[in-house]
Amino acid sequence: MDSSKKYTAIHYHSYLELDKLLSAQVPRSGKFEEKPAHDETLFIIMHQVYELWFKQIVHELDSVCNMFRDETMDEENMNMAVLRLKRISEILELVIKQIYVMETLTPLDFMDFRHYLFPASGFQSLQFRMIESTLGLREEDRMTYNGHSYKIVFSDEQKDQLEKIEKGGSLFELVEGWLERIPFLKFKDFDFLASYKQAVEKMLAEEEKAISATDYLSPKMKAMRLKMLGGTNTYFKQVLSEEAHNEMIKEGKLRLSYKATLAALLINLYREKPILTTPYNLLMELMNIDELLTNWRYRHAQMVMRMIGNKVGTGGSSGHEYLAKTAEKHKIFNDLHNISSLLIPRTELPKLPDDFDQQLGFYYTYISK
């Protein structure tokens, strides 16, 4: 490259390739009718904007995956990863809000050009499928497309792209491996699981005693409260027994490995310790992204219901029904959300040994002169 051109002036218009960008809206209704449907331009721009944001999300996800893949997740890179995941969350917030603009398109106005769209469909968005796969949505966990793999709508080259992502290790798998490497589950004489189990049993015994002793609840209400409280054989069973946890994985009820789950639990319980604050923020952003994608799918489904009712989608899917089911099924980080059922009050947290507590914080010694 000629270094003399490195700092030459460039114009806003040419830098953004605006000639290409602004000439990319070509309404199909204008090719077949004397006057194009007015709102088709909005429809095209909205979906082009989606794809631009999807491109940025893919860019951010790839960078975060590479940090985990290279096992270079030191404190500096961890902060960078959190920032980039936060950026994805903000983009998804914006993507959801864009639906309000789309809904200024009325169902009758949509009918002016919908018949020109067949068989094009948002289902054919390669970049959105790349986002799902990179995050960790497995093919076996997906809704089928009219009984077929979701890849059926893509070319051989595009299928190769998706398969390469699936084989390269998703963000879910990379985060799972990172959690399994966290060294704090056992530290000298401190055994996190044993201490946690003791704290859970103590907490449950005290709460059961308080419920049983109160005069303000009827026997029926007491029974209901005790059932809600659970026990070591309900919510806590999956983390107190590795065998029970692995059985739930086999049954498809859990996905995150036992060791990774324990590490995520420790991070959540002791998240105020300086060395665990950033890892906690990272797990929170993964949950935020999962939740925002669910919200986007749900809002998309509601928009489709508003636009076409119960009609079949332009790509041949069941339209609203299909989209609504994906909102429920296409979740990736459920296991991180479920950590909440394993939390205990701060007052019940096992006390950490002093030397371990120092390892998790900022500890300085003062040497007098």
**The predicted structure's pLDDT at residue 365:** 46
Cβ(304)–Cβ(313) under 8 Å?
Answer: yes
339-348 contact pairs (CB < 8 A, 24+): 339/261, 339/264, 339/265, 339/268, 341/235, 342/235, 342/236, 342/238, 342/239, 342/265, 343/265, 343/268, 343/269, 344/196, 344/199, 344/200, 344/203, 344/269, 345/203, 348/199, 348/202, 348/203
**The predicted structure's pLDDT at residue 314:** 52
Distance, in Å, from the CA atom of 182 to the CA atom of 112, rounded to the nearest integer, reads 57
Query: Which amino acid is located at 277 in the chain?
Result: T
Distance, in Å, from the CA atom of 195 to the CA atom of 189, rounded to the nearest integer, reads 11
| Paired tokens of 78 | 């961890």
- Residue closest to 264 by CA, chosen among 252, 276, 250: 276
Helix axis angle for 126-135 and 274-308, nearest 10°, is 150
Cβ(349)–Cβ(270) under 8 Å?
Answer: yes
pTM of the model: 0.89
- Reading phi first (left if > 0) and then psi (alpha if -120 to 50, else beta), residue 252 is in left
The CATH number given to 12-359 is 1.20.58.480
pLDDT along the chain (369 residues), means of 10: 71 95 94 88 96 98 92 78 97 96 93 87 91 95 82 93 93 95 77 90 88 88 83 82 94 95 95 92 98 94 84 57 86 95 90 80 50
Distance, in Å, from the CA atom of 75 to the CA atom of 64, rounded to the nearest integer, reads 14
Domain ranges of the chain: 12-359
The overall longest dimension of the chain from CA atoms, in Å, is: 90
- Residue closest to 331 by CA, chosen among 296, 369, 280: 296
Q: Spell out the SS3 assignment of the chain.
A: CCHHHCCCCCCHHHHCCHHHHHCCCCCCHHHHCCCCCCCHHHHHHHHHHHHHHHHHHHHHHHHHHHHHHCCCCCHHHHHHHHHHHHHHHHHHHHHHHHHHHHCCCCHHHHHCCHHHCCCCCHHHCHHHHHHHHHHCCCHHHCCCECCECHHHHCCHHHHHHHHHHHHCCCHHHHHHHHHHHCCCCEECCEEHHHHHHHHHHHHHHHHHHHHHHCCCCCHHHHHHHHHHHCCCCCCCHHHHCHHHHHHHHHCCCCCCCHHHHHHHHHHHHCCCCHHHHHHHHHHHHHHHHHHHHHHHHHHHHHHHHHHHCCCCCCCCCCCHHHHHHHHHHCCCCHHHHHHHHHCCCHHHCCCCCHHHHHHCCCCCCCCCC
